[in-house]
Amino acid sequence: MEKIDCDILIVGGGAAGSRAAYEAKKLCPELKVIMAVRGGFGSSGSTNLMASESLGINAPFNFMDDGDNSEVFYKDMMDTGAGLADPNLCRILANESCKRVEELIALGVKFDSRDGKIIQRKLSGCTKARSLTCGGSTGREIVRVLKREIKKLGVEVVEDIRILDLVKGDNGKVCGAVGLIGEKFIYIQAKAVVIATGGAGRIFKYNVNPLSLEGDGWCMAYRAGARLINMEFFQIGPAVFKPNIMFIIHSHMWRLKPRLTNVYGEEFLNKYCPLGIEPSEVMVLKAMSYPFSVRTDAKYLDIAIFKEFTEGRGTDTGGVYFDVTHVSQETLLDKAPITYQILKQAGADLAKERIEIGMVVQNFNGGILIDSNGYTGVEGLFAAGEVTGGVHGADRPGGNNLIDTQVFGYRAGRACAEYASSIERKPQIEDISFNFSTITKEDELIIKKSEEIYYKNLTVIRNRLGLEDVLRFIDSYWGRPNIVVQNRLLLGSLIARAALMREESRGTHYREDFPKTNPLWTKRILILKSEKGYPSLELL
Ligand SMILES: Cc1cc2nc3c(=O)[nH]c(=O)nc-3n(C[C@H](O)[C@H](O)[C@H](O)COP(=O)(O)OP(=O)(O)OC[C@H]3O[C@@H](n4cnc5c(N)ncnc54)[C@H](O)[C@@H]3O)c2cc1C
């Protein structure tokens, strides 16, 4: 197998990987740093996806003079996290976010401003206007600037490589990873590895994630002995199903009071609202909260859309009809100009025709357990960004994922550089043999089936029967030799087991059979690999 040698391997080229690579090389220029990116650097990952009107990054600058500060930010995270956000990580995020964003500004990121003053907006789960944007391309802009700096510093970038697994040396320390470029395996030997592979929306039939987000980072970290936390919590929200584009239904669209109908032309929202709660009130709440969460009564809208589909009253695309033809083109251009234009370009004029929308998986709150420096507890292994867990809890304030990539990308990059500098020799390994069985037609069918069954049972509505169905499905295929299928089964198992164990509803986790939040469940679920290879769960 071809071997490439370096000191630090960063896996992933989103906002977290870019920041970690930049900081590692800046701190220790003598180290050889390689970034391995599935897809293109600057065009892969959620960071670079333009699927929403505005992509916010939170920092409590108080530019809008509404009394924001790090203490208020910290409290928002803890409240929205519903008791499951890590206080230590949240404190760091609250205290260091302004500094990290100031550094981005100094490097050339130009945030949206009015009359020379940066604008901040209030997103869901935030009590203050805290989010800075570059329209819908905030993440792309951050990576553009970091990429330029990374190249100047001399970080090497390997694109179009899929890292498949970590390699451990004679002393049990991580000493690199094996990846696949085309049909060629490559071993990248390193003193330390930072996993920054983002989320795993692609394991669900309906999602707004780019192709490369299949959760490889979680699987390799789990196999290497890292622990995962809060895996049952991830964000799901409404997005456009027809026309066929990847674009979320931005919160403010609900202020237009859309008419929601199923395939039989029935308006259905009323049916899901308990006595005393009007559909119009639910829409007002939805306008303040994009993701599904049991935190607010906006949840009835998400549940309604999801149930109409799963109970067979959805459209062929898996959605329901969303109709704002009662709103004039002028008003649409005034209130929702970007959504209007994007849909128009895709062939749908919102002023004249209805579109189809449905529930999609957007991003993950849980992931690899890290300490305050991105260390995973497995020697030589660090992680940053959406692939990590702990800072977000059961739910998170909108705008917190991007700032997480910068604050903890910074810390993980520096910590792994210090670690790599302190090591005299790379852990040795006898022989790199990687058993890669090629994917078969049956494997492909299993993957397709898993995407359907995971979407149906692991997303908006969960219950014991559905979760047990998922686990039975996984058991019937467990042990398949191909690593891609193995990963899909493992990921389903991690989520289903945690969701089954949590017999309550909290944040983004809704158990139809346990609809109330139970204070006794203010505990986090940790998952690690048991001796038999199955996920073993513990409470923290
Ligand atoms: C539609 C949408 C809207 C969002 N809106 C917001 C918002 O307003 N505010 C906010 O804070 N967050 C938002 N988020 C979430 C946020 O964008 C992400 O959490 C964040 O960008 C993740 O950054 P990351 O660097 O951790 O991962 P990503 O940007 O996803 O990057 C992951 C990288 O890892 C690579 N990779 C994956 N697997 C492998 C492998 N096996 N080998 C090599 N490379 C691999 C990918 O190709 C990619 O380069 C949104 C997400 C979506 C999808």
Task: Look at residue 154 and tell me if it is in a domain.
Answer: yes
Same domain? For 246 and 353 the reply is yes
Mean pLDDT rounded to a whole number for the chain: 96
Distance CA 59, CA 96 (A): 9
The alpha carbon dihedral of 522, 362, 130, 251 has a sign of negative
Q: What is the CATH number of the domain that holds 334?
A: 3.90.700.10
Reading the block at residue 143, the tokens are 């990576």
CATH number where 190 lies: 3.50.50.60
Contact 120, 432 (CB under 8 A): no
For residues 293-303, average pLDDT: 96
Give the residue whose CA is nearest to atom 30 of ligand 1: 45
Cβ proximity of 244 and 394 under 8 Å: no
- 246 and 341 housed in the same domain: yes
Q: Please tell me the predicted confidence (pLDDT) of residue 435.
A: 72
Which atom of ligand 1 is the closest one to the Cα of 58?
Answer: 11
pLDDT score for 172? 87
Q: Among 202, 362, 363, which residue has the most ligand 1 atoms within 8 Å of its CB, making it the best to mutate?
A: 363
* pLDDT tens sequence across 87-137: 999 999 999 999 999 999 999 999 999 999 999 999 999 999 999 999 999
**Better-scored residue on pLDDT, 426 or 29:** 29
- Asked if residue 60 has its Cβ within 6 Å of ligand 1, the reply is no
Residue 87 lies in a domain: no
pLDDT digit string, tens, across residues 311-341: 999 999 999 999 999 999 999 999 999 999 9
**Residue 45: inside a domain, yes or no?**
yes
Radius of gyration of the chain (CA): 22
When pLDDT is cut at 50, 70 and 90, the band that residue 515 belongs to is very high
Residue 97 near ligand 1, beta carbon < 6 Å? no
**383 in contact with ligand 1, CB cutoff 6 A:** no
What was the pLDDT predicted at 366?
Answer: 98
- Give bridge partners of residue 375 from the DSSP assignment: 382
| Same-domain pairing of 356 and 324 | yes
Residue 448's domain spans which residues?
437-539
ipTM more than 0.85?
A: yes
Together in a domain, 396 and 490: no
315 is a domain residue: yes
Same domain, 496 and 525: yes
Domain boundary among 346, 361, 376: 361
Q: What is the pLDDT of residues 405-463, one digit of tens each?
A: 999 999 999 999 999 999 887 667 767 777 778 899 999 999 999 999 999 999 999 99
Answer yes or no: is 431 within a domain.
no
Among protein residues, the one with the nearest Cα to ligand 1's atom 5 is 55
On whether both 370 and 510 belong to a single domain, the answer is no
Per-residue model confidence (pLDDT) at position 424: 81
Same domain assignment for residues 408 and 469: no
Pair (223, 242) in one structural domain: no
Strands 320-323 and 355-364: antiparallel
Q: How much is the average pLDDT of 377-403?
A: 97
User: Do 159 and 31 share a structural domain?
Assistant: yes
pLDDT tens track for 259-295: 999 999 999 999 999 999 999 999 999 999 899 999 9
Per-residue pLDDT at 122: 94
Q: How many domains does the chain have?
A: 3
Q: Do residues 273 and 369 share a domain?
A: no
> In Å, what is the CA distance from 148 to each residue of 109, 111, 384, 416, 469?
12, 18, 20, 21, 48
Residue 196 lies in a domain: yes
Mean pLDDT computed over 40-54: 93
- The reply to whether 328 and 257 lie within a common domain is yes
18 in a structural domain:
yes
Give the whole-angstrom CA distance, residue 200 versus residue 198: 7
Same domain, 343 and 487: no
In a domain? residue 156 = yes
